[in-house]
Structure 1
């Protein structure tokens, strides 16, 4: 059976533990796209769902290559070159992209995850692609130095080098955990400073075939989700400011697009 595009329906969770507690949880939707399988077919097997879902074209829900990588419309080729440059030559299976789609032409993607598999389906590497509200992007390439597979729930670390929230300094580290299956997924990212955990965040959901029916139902339930992302970012920023959480000015972004 060919790898087919999937629709993810689930939850976005965020909990700040200090210096003031603040938490929220929202329903969300994402797409799970088999990028290598789609290289030649451009998601053609969608059938009637193709009337609602577009690849590099206008549609109610759409995916655009230029929203990822270098922004030149060749995101998969860029990622494959990055893997080769990093010595990850055995990620020769599917590459799944979990990302928020554009809805009604608009999209903001705080984080997307590229799951890079071996031919046997084991997870060799994950690229976490982060965008901030200043139009900047940085990626964290996560893989074991010894080449072993990333197991479900296994802890991976990355030093924080990129400014995302003005309520967190560019210090400390991220701790990543992943569960990526055909039927469901969970990506958890916790931010730690020298004294312990500051933020706990996660994106989780169940995967369903991307059909006219599932897409229509998702739009009816969460069609507002993508447009609301930016509004919610600013709304919760106001709440943090009112709670007197320290504010940090934006530093110069890192010169390298990818941290390894």
Structure 2
């Protein structure tokens, strides 16, 4: 019993100040033809890459199976997440600006399973100011593409900064691969929000909001989160197909999947 209590205290002490676990919602609202909206519970992590080995505890595996786990192979080139993002910043002449910490917002694997529609890499300068965001997007066809976002003249990114990029990657069969995304990122105390608006021909087509409230990444919170929301991660792909069926029944225009872009990353 004493050993068990001691182990539990060790787990809690090691993670008590690391507010890296978020629970919240993901909301979509399609506007215009075949209007549709939904709001689902969600969970995600947001943590500094330099501390990713500290994620490991008896309930969290780093590159190994556990209740929660994080695998480098799920991101980038599938080798080492930190090395990959640093090399990408070098390739796009951003390494001198983004010379601080990189934080990753993503869903953990739960009992070995996860599907991440999008993960966000927050790249900071040495003064802890946000200077670039990489959006790593996955579709249900096993394809991946990254959008690299920066402010005008590579300035500091804050909650008022509207970050834009051209859509060149197929995600939904009910939207064409054209138009543009507008992103905004908000963080206030323990709350984090990502807003994504999809525009086509100067008309707003889709609004997406991901929001979450942070809590310490402790063994206790992992167990509570799995009990309350673990099923939400497992149902991600099923829900994508369910919403697609609803759009088809509403008469939304269907677009066949085009050839994916040859570039891994676009600006």
Q: Deviations over 1:21-53 (max 9, x none)?
A: 100001110011210233xxx125x6xxx1111
Whole-Å separation in 2 of the counterparts to 1:154 and 1:59: 38
Which residue in 2 is equivalent to 1:227?
A: 234
Q: Give the count of matched residue pairs.
A: 251
When the two chains are superposed, the root-mean-square deviation of aligned CA atoms in Å is: 1.6
CA contact (8 A) 1:60 1:104 kept: yes
* 1-structure distance, mates of 2:77, 2:155: 28
Instruction: Give 1:175's aligned residue.
Output: 182
Residue 167 (structure 2) pairs with residue 153 (structure 1): no
Cα offset, 1:4, TM superposition? 3.9
1:16 aligns with 2:30: yes
Q: Looking at secondary structure, tell me which structure has more helix per residue.
A: 2
Deviation at 1:167, TM superposition (A): 0.3
Which stretch of the first structure deviates more once superposed, 140-149 or 156-165? Answer: 140-149
| Residue aligning to 1:32 | 46
Pairs within 5 Å for 1:1-260: 4=18, 6-38=20-52, 42-43=53-54, 50-71=57-78, 73-88=79-94, 89-180=96-187, 183-260=190-267
User: Secondary structure in 2 aligned to 1:19?
Assistant: coil
SS across alignment from 1:210 = coil
How far off its partner does 1:181 sit?
5.0
Mapped to 1, the partners of 2:240 and 2:252 lie a distance apart of 15
In 2, distance between residues paired with 1:186 and 1:87? 28
Residue 195 of structure 1, CA deviation:
4.0
- Checking the alignment, whether the CA contact within 8 Å between 2:19 and 2:214 is kept in structure 1 is no
